[in-house]
Chains A and B, each alone.
Chain A
Amino acid sequence: MELEKGKISATHLIFSIGCFIQGSTLLSAFVISVTKQDTWFVVLTGFIISMGTIGIYIALAKMHPHKTIIQMFEAIFGTFIGKIFSILYIFYFLSLAGLNSRDVGNFVVGYIMPETPIIALLIMFVFICSWAVRSGIETMVSYSFLFVVISYIVIIFIFLLLIGEMNFNNFFPAFTLPAIKYVQGTHIVAAIPFSEIVVFLMIVPCLDNQKKVAESFLAGLLIGGITLLAVIIRDIATLGNMISFVTLPSYETVKLIDIAHIITRMEVLYAIELLVLQFFKVSILYYATVLGIAQVFNLRSYKPYILTVGIIIISLSIVVFDSPMENAFWGSTVAPVYSSIFQLLFPGVALITSLIRYIFKGIKVGQS
């Protein structure tokens, strides 16, 4: 059964993963509210920890080549239990798509157009995403390189404009918070931007050269990780102790750009970057949901479900939170635990089970 006939190259996968992680970097307030001026450290530890979880994904992909995570579960646990896991994953991808669309809506309504109904924005945003999903994976990922380049250019540009505002005393005193905060922060960083790339296990089967999975995942993680670190360092150095008060640190940072009252009001750069990256991220999650549904129910094509899922995403993103405060609370407390189930627990169980089956029963689960 070939649902997706598109083929993507390793380069495209690298930039897609990088772009996907970058989508979260702009909304870094979740972790900054926990670890304040030491967030840069948490980003590094989170990066190292998530290399472990990504190791699990790579091992799974190597043991089950040409299979999406949905098909893997059916191969490992049998049809019935496998389908239960698959449905849970579909829900996970769907909820992430909803949450990320909501982030876009919150941003536009909160900062740019406060009187616009959020549904008007979400319908347009998700509509464009659904168009991207309809065009297939090949089309979607071919934009990733462009988006990564755009966001790097924007980040470097903002960095240069803000050099005068930065004060590196803002990083001190370092390491003064209780140790548990660092654990929490590391967990948030590992769970929210980095390990969300579990969704790429839905896309790996399209990779033309299956031997390059490991390099692609790690290189993509590096692209995203560097961006996150640069953005966090810039925001801390610029905002200082204000960083734990503002709702969107990166946005306030960009607002501070003022060179001789001429080069100023650059926040539109941030808005463009945010919309472009979130578009990419939601499209990937959307695609994974639709493809997952088609695979679980053994359908011949996923295209008829695009609009339906799109409507579910819109409704979900409207009902999921009453307010951005609820969103922020969820993001820094519940989300890491919720995500860990899908990012670490289930893939871990799947990996161990398939190893056991491989060793004891000698069942051939694939060659790598």
Chain B
Amino acid sequence: MNRSFTIFLKLIAVFMIIICLTGCWNRRELDSLSVLVGIGIDKTDEPQKVNVTAQIAIPSKIKTSGNKDESSSSAYWNIQYKAENVFTALRESTFSASRKLYIGQNPIVLFGEDLARDGVQKHIDFFLRDHEARLNEYIVIAKGKAGAILNVKPELEKLPGLNIEKLIDLHYATSKVISARLMDFVSSLASGTTSPVAPMIQVDGASENQKLSMSGTAVFKNDKLTGELDMVQTRGYLWVVDKVKGGLINTKTPNGVICLEILHSKSKMTAKKKEDGSFVIKIAINADINAGNQEEAYNLLLPENISYVENQASDTIKSEIKASLNKAWELKADIFGFGEAIKRKDYKKWESIKDDWDNIFPEIETELEVAVKLRGTGEINKFVQPEPEKREKNNGA
């Protein structure tokens, strides 16, 4: 074999590989995809079927510039299909949609309230199994029908699905809304004792001025919706699981109400074993706050006033936590992961009590330790008013 023939053979080999690499069977271009930006799953009258609303983005209408006529039409298309399960419905949507659905960018999975009461696990399985779906999609529970939520056209965003995602992303602003990724939800399901939670969303207003708003937290027992937490209880829950990232606390002082902003907080939940063998859950919270709004003069430069405000704030936090604890005890749903904390502490004991956990959980003792630090007064350090001596002068005159 001479040299040039070898080179010739090598070139043929290279070209063969290059030709094979140019096109693969799963080539997916934007013009042949319909990108899902939200999925809503609802119960139907037929027992074995679900109603799936798939929201498809229309890329050509998302452009911000362009003429006025175009902007009036919506940049999404909601396609509804009834089928035995989510996967079938999404596939059968190709009966009327000209492009195959692409789930890889899907930000949210909405479940209707009725469906959630019957159990969601059999509908979640597909999202875990599919190779395009991701574990960080948000799970949201719709009050009423999920399809109706996806029909509400947002004012600031083009796509309802992305709008809901952004509403959830903003949970840190108040810490009265939770965010539940598919991963968190399933991880709770897998633990067996921790109850999964997910945010709830509802439609407000009449048909013309409809808007969406987040409202509380859905609590699951295994995979079935059993109850909900209101906003205050939701924040109580977030304090315990160390997910409060911001928000406001209104506290009474001798002189009017003061609004405090939570800068950051850190909480630690541990299980302690008592001498008689039962467990105490100790929750220690450290929060830093900042004065945000004052209605009347109350001098925050005095140490005794600072500690008064701090105590008031920590009482508020405690009451929020107690509210959530009471609700969880009432629902017999261990949303906080107390069971997991005990499991980490004493595995052998846990093995013996875990079957009876539903009855033990409502009786479990907790110990709250809240330390609040006032870190600042904002850009002013006093309530704006005439200085006291001037005021006396004015009064005297």
| Residues of A bordering B, CB below 8 Å | 110-117, 120, 123-124, 127-128, 131, 169, 172-173, 176, 239-242, 245, 252, 255-256, 258, 261
- Quick one: given A113-B24, A114-B26, A127-B13, are A241 and B344 in contact (CB under 8 Å)? no
- Within the complex, the shortest CB–CB distance from B186 to chain A, in Å, comes to 6
Note all chain A residues with C-beta closer than 8 A to B21.
124
Taking a contact as CB atoms under 8 Å apart, the answer to whether B26 and A242 are in contact is: no
Q: Does B384 contact A (CB under 8 A)?
A: no
Q: Which of B20, B187, B344 contacts A120 (CB 8 A)?
A: B20
Taking a contact as CB atoms under 8 Å apart, the answer to whether A245 and B344 are in contact is: no
Q: Does B213 contact A (CB under 8 A)?
A: no
| Nearest chain A residue, comparing its CB with the CB of B107 | A261
Note all chain B residues with C-beta closer than 8 A to A256.
134-136, 183
A132 to B135, CA, bound (A): 38
Note all chain A residues with C-beta closer than 8 A to B308.
none
Note all chain B residues with C-beta closer than 8 A to A258.
136
Taking a contact as CB atoms under 8 Å apart, the answer to whether A242 and B186 are in contact is: yes
Given contacts A114-B131, A242-B183, A245-B186, 18 further A-B contacts (CB under 8 A): A110-B131, A111-B131, A113-B26, A114-B26, A116-B24, A116-B25, A116-B26, A124-B17, A124-B21, A127-B17, A128-B17, A131-B13, A172-B344, A241-B190, A242-B190, A245-B128, A255-B134, A256-B135
Taking a contact as CB atoms under 8 Å apart, the answer to whether B26 and A115 are in contact is: yes
Q: Does B343 contact A (CB under 8 A)?
A: yes
Note all chain B residues with C-beta closer than 8 A to A239.
183
Taking a contact as CB atoms under 8 Å apart, the answer to whether A245 and B17 are in contact is: no
A128 to B20, CA, bound (A): 13
Q: Does B347 contact A (CB under 8 A)?
A: yes
- Within the complex, the shortest CB–CB distance from B282 to chain A, in Å, comes to 15
A176 to B351, CA, bound (A): 10
> Which of B135, B169, B347 is the most central at the interface, judged by chain A CB atoms within 10 Å of its CB?
B135
> Which of A113, A114, A242, A261 is the most central at the interface, judged by chain B CB atoms within 10 Å of its CB?
A242
- Within the complex, the shortest CB–CB distance from B189 to chain A, in Å, comes to 9
Note all chain B residues with C-beta closer than 8 A to A117.
25
Taking a contact as CB atoms under 8 Å apart, the answer to whether B344 and A115 are in contact is: no
Taking a contact as CB atoms under 8 Å apart, the answer to whether A173 and B25 are in contact is: no
A123 to B21, CA, bound (A): 12
- From residue 172 to 223 of chain B, which have CB atoms closer than 8 A to chain A? 183, 186-187, 190-191
The 6 A-B pairs at the shortest CB distance, nearest first, are namely A172-B344, A173-B347, A113-B26, A116-B25, A115-B25, A176-B347
Taking a contact as CB atoms under 8 Å apart, the answer to whether A241 and B135 are in contact is: no
A92 to B136, CA, bound (A): 41
State the main secondary structure of chain B at its contact with A.
helix
- Within the complex, the shortest CB–CB distance from B164 to chain A, in Å, comes to 14
Note all chain A residues with C-beta closer than 8 A to B135.
242, 252, 255-256
Note all chain A residues with C-beta closer than 8 A to B186.
242, 245
- Within the complex, the shortest CB–CB distance from A23 to chain B, in Å, comes to 22
A172 to B191, CA, bound (A): 13
| Residues of B bordering A, CB below 8 Å | 13, 17, 20-21, 24-26, 128, 131, 134-136, 169, 183, 186-187, 190-191, 340, 343-344, 347, 350
| Nearest chain B residue, comparing its CB with the CB of A241 | B190
A260 to B350, CA, bound (A): 38
- Within the complex, the shortest CB–CB distance from A105 to chain B, in Å, comes to 13
Note all chain A residues with C-beta closer than 8 A to B187.
240-242
A113 to B20, CA, bound (A): 14
A110 to B130, CA, bound (A): 10
- Within the complex, the shortest CB–CB distance from B301 to chain A, in Å, comes to 37
- Within the complex, the shortest CB–CB distance from A80 to chain B, in Å, comes to 36
A123 to B13, CA, bound (A): 12
> Which of A110, A117, A123, A173 is the most central at the interface, judged by chain B CB atoms within 10 Å of its CB?
A173
A318 to B371, CA, bound (A): 63
- Within the complex, the shortest CB–CB distance from B32 to chain A, in Å, comes to 13
A124 to B340, CA, bound (A): 48
Taking a contact as CB atoms under 8 Å apart, the answer to whether B136 and A113 are in contact is: no
Note all chain B residues with C-beta closer than 8 A to A245.
128, 186, 190
A218 to B187, CA, bound (A): 39
- Within the complex, the shortest CB–CB distance from A117 to chain B, in Å, comes to 7
A176 to B13, CA, bound (A): 55
Q: List 23 A-B contacts (CB under 8 A).
A: A111-B131, A113-B25, A115-B25, A115-B26, A116-B25, A117-B25, A120-B20, A123-B20, A127-B13, A127-B17, A128-B17, A169-B340, A172-B344, A173-B347, A240-B187, A241-B187, A242-B183, A242-B190, A252-B135, A255-B135, A255-B136, A256-B134, A258-B136
Taking a contact as CB atoms under 8 Å apart, the answer to whether A124 and B20 are in contact is: yes
- Within the complex, the shortest CB–CB distance from B345 to chain A, in Å, comes to 8
A40 to B142, CA, bound (A): 41
A173 to B128, CA, bound (A): 25
| Nearest chain B residue, comparing its CB with the CB of A110 | B131
> Which of B21, B191, B347 is the most central at the interface, judged by chain A CB atoms within 10 Å of its CB?
B347
| Nearest chain B residue, comparing its CB with the CB of A260 | B169
Note all chain A residues with C-beta closer than 8 A to B134.
255-256
| Nearest chain A residue, comparing its CB with the CB of B186 | A242
Note all chain A residues with C-beta closer than 8 A to B17.
124, 127-128
Note all chain B residues with C-beta closer than 8 A to A111.
131
A216 to B190, CA, bound (A): 44
- Within the complex, the shortest CB–CB distance from A367 to chain B, in Å, comes to 42
A240 to B190, CA, bound (A): 10
Note all chain B residues with C-beta closer than 8 A to A242.
135, 183, 186-187, 190
Q: Which of B20, B169, B344 contacts A173 (CB 8 A)?
A: B344
A127 to B20, CA, bound (A): 12
A117 to B17, CA, bound (A): 16
| Nearest chain B residue, comparing its CB with the CB of A253 | B135
Note all chain B residues with C-beta closer than 8 A to A115.
25-26
Note all chain B residues with C-beta closer than 8 A to A240.
187
A120 to B343, CA, bound (A): 49
- Within the complex, the shortest CB–CB distance from B223 to chain A, in Å, comes to 15
A110 to B136, CA, bound (A): 20
A114 to B21, CA, bound (A): 16
- Within the complex, the shortest CB–CB distance from B269 to chain A, in Å, comes to 10
Note all chain B residues with C-beta closer than 8 A to A176.
347
A240 to B184, CA, bound (A): 10
- Within the complex, the shortest CB–CB distance from B222 to chain A, in Å, comes to 15
- Quick one: given A113-B24, A117-B25, A124-B21, are A169 and B344 in contact (CB under 8 Å)? yes
